[in-house]
Each structure stands twice: as C-alpha cells, then as structure tokens.
Amino acid sequence: MAQFSIKDDHVDIVIGALQSDLTSFMDAWRPFFSRFHLIIVKDPLLKEDLKIPDGFNVDMYTKSDMDKAVGSSLTSQLFSGYSCRYYGYLVSKRKYIISIDDDCIPAKDDNGFLVDAVSQHLFNLASPATPLFFNTLYDPYRKGADFVRGYPFSLREGVPCALSCGLWLNLADLDAPTQALKPEQRNTRYVDAVLTVPTKAMMTLSGINIAFDREILGPALFPGLKLTKEGNLRWETMQDVFSGMCAKVTCDHLKIGVKTGLPYVWREERGDAIQSLKKDWEGMKLMEDAVPFFESIQLPPEAVNAEECMLEIAKLLKDKFDAEKNSVFIQAADAMIEWVKLWKKAVPASN
Amino acid sequence: MAQFSIKDDHVDIVIGALQSDLTSFMDAWRPFFSRFHLIIVKDPLLKEDLKIPDGFNVDMYTKSDMDKAVGSSLTSQLFSGYSCRYYGYLVSKRKYIISIDDDCIPAKDDNGFLVDAVSQHLFNLASPATPLFFNTLYDPYRKGADFVRGYPFSLREGVPCALSCGLWLNLADLDAPTQALKPEQRNTRYVDAVLTVPTKAMMTLSGINIAFDREILGPALFPGLKLTKEGNLRWETMQDVFSGMCAKVTCDHLKIGVKTGLPYVWREERGDAIQSLKKDWEGMKLMEDAVPFFESIQLPPEAVNAEECMLEIAKLLKDKFDAEKNSVFIQAADAMIEWVKLWKKAVPASN
C-alpha cells in the first residue's frame, strides 16, 4: 500500500458516544487510533459523564457545545442518538473523517491478525476508484492486483474516491425484521476485497464503519432523516441509509467514487431484535419510495459540489413528495437545507 | 446451497481442446466432471489426435463435424482457436453450459480444499441475481448471508441469473501488455465472494471459466470478433470480451443477471508474454471504441430474447462503425448474424 498515503494530521476519527463508558472500546482500538486526532461526540440523550481512557488526543463535544453552536432546537433535531457523530463531521477541520460505531472493536482477518481498519480506510480513500467500468479483479490498485484483460486503458487512471464503506464480522448490518427472524445469524465470512460500486448503481451506506473525504463529500453525509417511531438501535434507524443514497447520487454526478468491502470491524451485540420487530418499523416502506426517487433524479450540471447537489436533492424531494403523506421525506429535505447552511458557516473556504 | 439446485442431466460441460493430450487436465477435474456429460471440441487448427482418458461421458467434435454442419468457410471463420468451444455451445441440447479452458485445473480454497467449480457455477445460475440494487453483503442467497439493512424488500426476490463468470488463481486474465510488464505477477488472493454486476455497469467477460443458461442467453455467447493479427494465446484475443459485452447489454435489457466471483480455477502458464508484447496488439484500441458503443446502445422493447438482441446489436454496429476503418466490428456484426442463423437452425424450439 506504499504508493498511496495520507498524512496522519489530515485525519479525524469521529466517534459518536452512545454509551458512557468508552474504556473497553478505546482500549481495543488503541493500536490503530492512538496516533490520530479523535473527536468524540456525546449523544445529547446520554445522561452519564463519558469515561475515556488516557493516552489519546481527543476533543470532546457535548450537548452544551451543540446548543451553543446551533441552538437547542437544531441540536435535538439533527444530533440525537446515532446522529450525534455528524456534529463531529461538522466541526472537524481536517480533510478525512473515519467514523466507527462504539459497539465495534477491531476484527481479525483469516490469519488471526487484527485488522487495521484506519489504514485500510485511508488506503481506500487515497487510491483511485473505478466507477465507470467494472473490474472483475476487484481493486486494481491493490498490491498484486491489476486491471483485467479488456479493461479500457483510458479508464485505468480512475477517479478520486470520496467514500469508503467498511463491513462487519459477527453481527452484520441487517434490518430489524431480518435480525428478528434470524437471531442466531452471524457473519463469519471475511471477504478479502475492496470494490468500487459502479456509477448509477444504488446501494445502502451503513454508518457503522465508514470513512470519507470531508472536503469533497462532507455536506452529503447529513443527519436529519428521522423515522416517526425511530428506535435507538442501529437497525431501527435509516438516517445513514438515506444519507448514503444522497452521497451516492452526489458522487455519481460529480464523477467521484464510492468503495465497499474492507475493512471489517467486529460488531458486538446490542439490543433485542424481537422487541424491535414488535415496533411498527416504517424503514421498510420508506425504501420502496426512496429508491425509485434516487434512481430517477438527474442533478443539473450547475451543481458542481456536494453542497449544491444536496440543495438540489432537497428541492426534488419537496417537488416529488407530499408534505402530509410523506412527511419523513419533507422533514429530511428541510434538515438538508439546514445542514448545508451549517456547513457553509463551518467551512467558509468551500464557498 | 441446498435450496437451489440443477439436475446433472441439464448440464453440458464444454471443453475447447487447444492441446492434444487432455489426460492431466481431465484427471485433475475427474472428481467434479465425471458425473456430467462432456462436449469436447477439438480446435480445427490442431493436427494431432486428442488423448482423452477413460471414465468420462464424452461427445467429441472435430473439424470434419463442423465442416459437415456449417461448411468449411464458416468453420474457419467462427470456430478456430479458443472459439472452437462455441461449436459445443451450439450443438448442446441442454439448458446449462459450463466451459473451462484446458490450461486450468481445480483451485484450492484458503483451507486447502479443492474447489468444486462445477457446483459453484450451478449454484450461481440456480440462485437469483440482484442487478437492480447493490448488496454490500455480497450474494444474499448464500448460506449465512442476507440482504443488508435498507435493501428494498420489493427487490429481494431477485431476477434469474443467466451468466456466471468465475475467476483465476495463479495466472489472472491480464492483457498482453500488462502480462508482459509484470511477468512475475501471480494472483494468490482467494476472494470468497460472488456478486451480481449491477445493471448498466459494463464489464469484461473472460471465457476462461464461465457458465451460462444456454436457453436464455446462448445466442449472445458468440464467436466471430477476430483481431486482425490475433494470436493463439488467450491474452492475444478479444473474442470473449466482446461477446461478454453483448451478453451484458442483453442481460440488462432482458432484466436478467450476471454474476462474478467464485468459483476460482488454477490457471497454468502458457505462452511467452514478452513475445506477445512485440506484436501490434490492437485489442487495446478496440476497447476504446467498443465500450462507449455498448454504453450508449438502447435495445428496442421489441427485442424480447437473446437472438433478437444480438440482431439489434449487429445492426447498431453496422450503423455506427465504418466498414474500412473499423472492419473488425463490421466483420463481428456479420458473424453475429451468421451465428443467430446457425442458432435458429440448431434450436428450433426457441423460435
């Protein structure tokens, strides 16, 4: 991985703290996190003080920081629960963000070695992506790999990669119904590959284990899609999935790449899937409307950065959906507009 | 893999014999081939008699069979070298075809077990494909796998899979220039995954290790794209890559799926890459014209099967390319028309 690299001080690792005692989480990640700057954002709904072990370079943010910066109304609207990490994306001053859920620890590969998820994410972002033609040999820039016979030479330079989506061993990111139906299912298969998701192919992003180029894509990673009866378990939320579709259409439009695959993290159990199933989980229905919408939209050529793409998507959401019947989408569109405003204030250089 | 299965007598394994002594090849594959019907097609350019070990259920075809069936002119035009296997596709009476180059033997997985490429291909074909939305958890129908959170429930049934493209350990399928530049490069990474190539994403098919549903897709797997100075090494040919693009746009149009990934085969060395580099290898230039062509075409709704799609593609090739400047494409278009004629004669039921 020598030929592509990113300097440590261009990276923020952002952790949304949904539990108060981060000791075992941080200790598990110490070999990979300790040389980086960390931003820890405490879930505004969490009452207890955070416990963070020594030996890390950390800036911590809590509800009072958010209230001061954006007001308490926006804080509760945008930064509750899993969404608290987005506050860290906003206040970061660095080019790259890595974000990992606090119920995940480093995975082991098939040889029993701990996976350095940080280095793998940074390699994914630093090396080009290939969204315009599918390479059956997976990531062609990886050591020992290349482009397959027939791959057009004019496309072998690739395009910048702005988003790296990692995967999960042990507990995969299934939805509430699937998780409840297969409570014993565990993901044990380590697939040793990274691939670029082709342009125009729709996918779900999961916010559990991701990295992105904040300068290029930051505004597209946005909080604010709330299910009416959203739970406080990952599988009861859709905020990251919806934001991921915004990010994917933005990347396709800007001709930049999204990768998926390595790195894996080991995901611990949290929550009771059967209890989740008892709720009226509207995430299922939401995607039936959201996917055709995102597949159909064409962003105008005037939208030349992520902020402008997001404002266009917000506009299209409002044109397409009914404020009463599809209030979740309309609220999300409003949140997108607020988010872009906040982003413009936070990152004046990009305007 | 229990829930999806294909009967043995619905399968033909087609081998194009480019070498006369198939003993070690067949012995290596005996555990996996012996319960199936085999079609072995001898390269018309090969002089020596074939040596085939006992214990297989084989029908063999040679130049004299081809000459009798299609005439010697079409035989040399369509069935020379690597293309001889297409004669086997044509004369097969079965629904599924598996085809593996005769310089490949079974690979071993990371646990040291021999890979049953036949069963894996048949599982890929029997289980649905998911070209309409990308599943980050790879093949959702595999045991222990599922759809990721957010995957639309309305798409979880998938669509039929008509083409399974396997991969290669040891010698990957690189083009002549890459192979010559990296003569020592070997593919050692076993990626334990199958995925559906998303609709509209262009890819290269390699004919080394494939399986397909002959009833659905047969006519789209066609010989006839010949480079002017085509060599007799896989990396000096483009016939399979070109035919693969025809197959991919046909599958996209018919809303059926193409999978890539497992099974691997172990590919032995053959040929001298440096010698190949000395040739004026036009495959490189060809793709720069072919890819934009295939990306741009839209097949008409009246084309409802692979034969009709191929005739439409042939027509579009003739409209788009110049008979003198791009003679390779025009000749390929003529070959496609001949091929569909032969197919209609061979498979009258499908008309």
Digit-coded pLDDT (tens) for B122-137: 999 999 999 999 999 9
Q: What is the CA radius of gyration of chain B?
A: 19
Whether residue B153 contacts residue B274, with contact meaning beta carbons closer than 8 Å, is answered with no
List C-alpha distances in Å: A344 to A13, A93, A307. 22, 13, 8
**Using an 8 Å Cβ cutoff, are A168 and A220 in contact?**
no
List the single range of A206-210, A283-287, A338-342, B237-241 with lowest mean pLDDT.
A283-287
H/E stretch holding B57 reads strand B57-61
CA distance A172 to chain B (A): 8
Q: What is the pLDDT of residues B58-70, one digit of tens each?
A: 999 999 999 999 9
Pairing of strands B209-213, A161-170: unpaired
Q: Give the Cα separation of B173 and B162 in Å (integer).
A: 22
Which residue out of A113, A148, A168 would a mutagenesis test of the B interface target, given it has the greatest number of B Cβ atoms within 10 Å? A148
According to the model, what pLDDT value does residue A349 have?
A: 52
Query: How many other CB atoms are found less than 10 A from the CB of residue B270?
Result: 15
Dist CA A178 CA A221 (whole Å): 26
Q: Dihedral sign for Cα B28, B269, B189, A125, please.
A: negative
Chain A residues close to B204, C-beta within 8 Å: 136, 148-151
pLDDT for position B236: 80
Measured CA to CA, the distance from residue B266 to residue B238 in angstroms comes to 21
Residue of A328, A83, A79, A334 lying closest to A228 (CA atoms): A328
- pLDDT tens-place string over residues A65-122: 999 999 999 999 899 999 999 999 999 999 999 999 999 999 999 999 999 999 999 9
Residue A19 is classified by DSSP as: S
How far is Cα of residue A311 from the mean position of the Cα atoms in its chain?
19
> What was the pLDDT predicted at A350?
43
As a whole number, the mean pLDDT across chain B is 93
Does residue B305 carry a pLDDT above 90? Answer: yes
Which ipTM value was assigned to this complex? 0.95
Q: How confident is the model at residue A60 (pLDDT cuts 50, 70, 90)?
A: very high
How would residue A206 be classed by pLDDT, with cut points 50, 70 and 90? very high
pLDDT at A183: 84
Give the model confidence (pLDDT) of B183-228 as tens digits.
888 999 999 999 999 999 999 999 999 999 999 999 999 998 888 7
Q: What is the pLDDT of residues B25-58, one digit of tens each?
A: 999 999 999 999 999 999 999 999 999 999 999 9
Q: Look up residue A206 and give its amino acid.
A: S
Mean pLDDT value across residues A324-342: 94
By the CB < 8 Å criterion, does A144 face chain B?
Answer: yes
**Helix (H) or strand (E) run with residue A31 in it:** helix A23-33
Say what the pLDDT of residue B280 is: 63
Statement: residue B296 has pLDDT above 50 = yes
B316-333 tens-digit pLDDT: 999 999 989 999 999 999
In chain A, which residues have their Cβ closer than 8 Å to the Cβ of B227? Answer: none
Q: Peptide bond preceding B263: is omega within 30 degrees of 0, i.e. cis?
A: yes
How far apart are alpha carbons A12 and A349 in whole angstroms?
18
Output phi, psi for A173, to 5 deg: -90, 80
Q: Does the pLDDT value for residue A351 go beyond 60?
A: no
pLDDT value for B289: 94
**Cis ω before A301 (30° cut-off from 0):** no
Neighbours of B324 (CB within 10 A): 7
Q: What is the pLDDT of residue B1?
A: 38
User: Which chain B residues have a beta carbon less than 8 Å from that of A153?
Assistant: 284, 287-288
Which residues of B are less than 8 Å from A235 in CB distance? 149
Quote the minimal CA–CA distance from A150 to chain B in Å: 6
Mean pLDDT is lowest, of A215-219, A293-297, A323-327, B113-117, for A323-327
- Looking at beta carbons, which residues of chain B come within 8 Å of A283? 149-150
* B199/A151 Cβ within 8 A: no
Partners of B211 in beta bridges: B98, B164
pLDDT for residue B242: 95
Residue with the two structure tokens 């599982």 = B123
Q: Closest approach of chain B CAs to the CA of A64, in angstroms?
A: 33
